[in-house]
Amino acid sequence: MPVMISVLVFAVLFFSGVILAIASTRNTILQRMERIGEIPELVELPDMTKPLGERIIAPLVRKLLNWIGQFAPSSMIEHTNMRLAQAGYPWRLQPAIFFALQTMTGTAGLVVGLIASKYLGASPVIKLLTVGGAVAMGAIIPGFLVDRRAAARKAVITRALPNVIDLLVVSVEAGLGLDGALNELLAREEGPLMEEFNLALTEIRLGKRRQDAWHSLADRTQVRDLRSFVAALCQAEELGSSISKVLRTHSETLRIKRSLRVRELAGKIPIKMLFPLIFFIFPAMFVVILGPGALSIMHSFGSIGF
């Protein structure tokens, strides 16, 4: 019995000494690292202040969508990348994730179509058309939303371009170069056009040819006025023309185009107002104007026995 107690006491003391030695060694190492200011984080803990969806569910969903998007053809990926670039990559979508979303919405449309065809009780042709229409509708919805976002972004760029070129004209005529004028403009203005100019300048700084960067900007946006502006800049650089004169001439041209565009929209207003007038305003006017007279006539005929 005394031997067992001695062995137990020895074991406790031995392991206690080992633990203390390891702890003291680790503390010594940490103290040395503190002195030289290089204390790395040994374990990167997740940010527990974020919601559960952002920490766990969103990464899992993104990994699933990326895995599904790997099966998309390369031609479809390129076409989708162009559409997303025109829309400014809304909701941080990537081509693979967009393809996965289309697949999932098409599958959801298939399920809805099968359920609807089950309760329709119609002929097989009607059921097949219902299922096909639901699948097509589900697959079209993501592309429709992206195209609407791209159209709105193009309209914003088209409206902002004349004012931006005017500011570039003032800056260049004051003595700044084109890149310096763009940098000054980026520090003061915001919007999709500024994002595209910033991306083009970044590509130029990273070593891309200036003309290639400008052409990439025109291809990303697919805005006609911006494409003509890029063509004018590239031609001025090739011929050695004055950038300020090119910018001023192009600014005047864009202002004339904007004035013609406004007149065109104003000319379409009467045609667009025709159908609301016929179906909504004219019936209300007829009721207000002719209603009392019609009631009086009905009352008169009723009094004489008709």
Query: What would the pLDDT profile of 228-247 be if each residue is shown by its tens digit?
Result: 999 988 888 888 888 888 88
pLDDT of residue 305: 57
pLDDT of residue 52: 61
Tokens representing residue 262 in the block: 């406004």
Q: 186 vs 293, which has greater pLDDT?
A: 186
The winner for highest mean pLDDT among 14-23, 88-97, 199-208, 235-244 is 199-208
Count the Cβ atoms, other than its own, within 10 Å of residue 146: 22
Q: How far apart are alpha carbons 150 and 90 in whole angstroms? A: 9
DSSP tag of 92: G
Q: Which helix (H) or strand (E) holds 204?
A: helix 192-205
pLDDT of residue 55: 66
Q: What would the mean pLDDT of 137-152 be, rounded to a whole number?
A: 91
pLDDT of residue 19: 46
Q: What would the mean pLDDT of 53-80 be, rounded to a whole number?
A: 73
pLDDT of residue 1: 46
66-76 per-position pLDDT tens digit: 776 677 777 78
Q: What would the mean pLDDT of 7-15 be, rounded to a whole number?
A: 46
Q: What would the mean pLDDT of 123-148 be, rounded to a whole number?
A: 87
Q: What would the mean pLDDT of 18-43 be, rounded to a whole number?
A: 49
pLDDT of residue 146: 92
Q: How far apart are alpha carbons 210 and 205 in whole angstroms? A: 9
265-301 per-position pLDDT tens digit: 888 888 888 888 888 888 888 888 887 877 787 777 7
Q: 84 vs 23, which has greater pLDDT?
A: 84
Q: 86 vs 123, which has greater pLDDT?
A: 86
Q: What would the mean pLDDT of 44-72 be, rounded to a whole number?
A: 66
pLDDT of residue 279: 85
Residue pair 227/196 in contact by the 8 Å Cβ criterion: no
Question: What's this model's pTM, rounded to 2 decimal places?
Answer: 0.68
pLDDT of residue 157: 92
Stretch among 37-41, 103-107, 138-142, 202-206 having the lowest mean pLDDT: 37-41
Q: 171 vs 52, which has greater pLDDT?
A: 171
**What is the pLDDT confidence band of residue 153, given thresholds at 50, 70 and 90?**
very high
Q: Say how many Å lie between the first and final Cα of the chain, rounded.
A: 127
Q: How far apart are alpha carbons 21 and 28 in whole angstroms? A: 10
Q: What would the mean pLDDT of 173-179 be, rounded to a whole number?
A: 86
Tokens representing residue 223 in the block: 């805005």
Q: How far apart are alpha carbons 88 and 145 in whole angstroms? A: 13
pLDDT of residue 104: 85
Stretch among 44-58, 229-243, 249-263 having the lowest mean pLDDT: 44-58
Q: How far apart are alpha carbons 137 and 108 in whole angstroms? A: 10
Sign of CA dihedral 47, 49, 52, 54: negative
- What whole-number percentage of the chain has pLDDT above 70? 77
Count the Cβ atoms, other than its own, within 10 Å of residue 274: 10
Q: How far apart are alpha carbons 185 and 294 in whole angstroms? A: 66
pLDDT of residue 39: 42
DSSP tag of 282: H
Q: What is the DSSP string of 240-286?
A: T--HHHHHHHHHHHHHHHHHHHHHHHHHHHHHHHHHHIIIIIHHHHH
Q: What would the mean pLDDT of 163-172 be, rounded to a whole number?
A: 89
Residue 100 has pLDDT above 50, yes or no: yes
Tokens representing residue 88 in the block: 């400014």
**Domains along the sequence of the chain with CATH:** 57-153 (no CATH), 154-256 (1.20.81)
